[in-house]
Amino acid sequence: DADVTQTPRNRITKTGKRIMLECSQTKGHDRMYWYRQDPGLGLRLIYYSFDVKDINKGEISDGYSVSRQAQAKFSLSLESAIPNQTALYFCATGQGLNEQFFGPGTRLTVL
Amino acid sequence: AQSVTQLDSQVPVFEEAPVELRCNYSSSVSVYLFWYVQYPNQGLQLLLKYLSGSTLVKGINGFEAEFNKSQTSFHLRKPSVHISDTAEYFCAVSEPGYNKLIFGAGTRLAVHP
């Protein structure tokens, strides 16, 4: 079984809709992250959380919000989706010397 | 502020040829360095990491990288590539204790028969 899971794997939505991407982990790690990947830009950090009561903005948090429901769950919400939020979204967990472990990704298309 | 530059966006190479993927970073402090690989339609997988000690780091699938502090580089090498190495490769940097990774833009390696 995968250590970091993301649901859904693919999502097509319309401009203005609210959507939620979910991430669960069985690794027991305290740190969790949300990234977006765009061609030619690599991965950019949206939000991160070092424990259930700790939420921090990354470099591109505008238009996004997160919720850390438990140590194992970290959700990303787009309150009102727009086309330039079309991207591949990754959840990751971390522990120890900065190494991170990635989920399989969610491909989001906003029409 | 830290940053990572991957000097080649695409690298085409023939099977069994050697390959080098270049990565330079900027940081005013000591760093941890990572290479991740992303196969088509998959998440990122750690190839190798430099934390301290020997500057030559060996990773999975026959890859290795060398940390060069004076050149602020961490280039990835493989002496003989396979078709299955076709993927996108990401270099990343972090400061010890900072717990965040800064990624480069990625290098797409295409191995041709």
Give B19 to chain A, closest Cα distance, Å: 21
Question: Are B9 and B30 within 8 A, CB to CB?
Answer: no
pLDDT at residue A74, rounded to an integer: 98
- pLDDT number for residue B29: 79
Note the pLDDT tens digit of each residue in B32-66: 999 999 998 889 999 999 998 889 999 999 999 99
| pLDDT the model gives residue A60 | 95
| pLDDT higher than threshold 80 for residue B98 | no
Does pLDDT of A50 surpass 60? Answer: yes
Write the DSSP symbol of residue B48: E
β-strands B107-112, B10-14: how paired?
parallel
Q: Which residue has the higher pLDDT, B42 or B89?
A: B89
Q: What is the 3-state secondary structure (H, E, C) of chain A?
A: CCCEEEECCEEEECCCCCEEEEEEECCCCCEEEEEEEECCCEEEEEEEEEECCEEEECCCCCCEEEEEEECCEEEEEECCCCHHHCEEEEEEEECCCCCEEECCCEEEEEC
Cα separation of A105 and B34, whole Å?
Answer: 20
Give me chain B's average pLDDT, please.
93
pLDDT, tens only, A1-29? 569 999 999 999 999 999 999 999 999 99
Q: Does A10 touch chain B (CB under 8 A)?
A: no
Backbone angles phi, psi at B19, to 5 degrees: -145, 145
Task: Give the pLDDT confidence score for residue B89 in this predicted structure.
Answer: 97
Q: Which residues contact B48 (CB under 8 A, 6 or more apart)?
A: B34, B35, B57, B58, B59, B60, B63, B64, B65, B76
Q: What rounded mean pLDDT belongs to chain A? A: 94
Q: What's the pLDDT score for residue A2?
A: 67
Tell me the average pLDDT across B60-77.
Answer: 95
Query: Which residues of chain A from 71 to 110 reach within 8 Å of chain B, CB to CB?
Result: 90, 92, 94, 97-105
Which of A31, A45, A102 shows the shortest C-beta gap to B43?
A102
Looking at residue B53, its pLDDT comes to 87
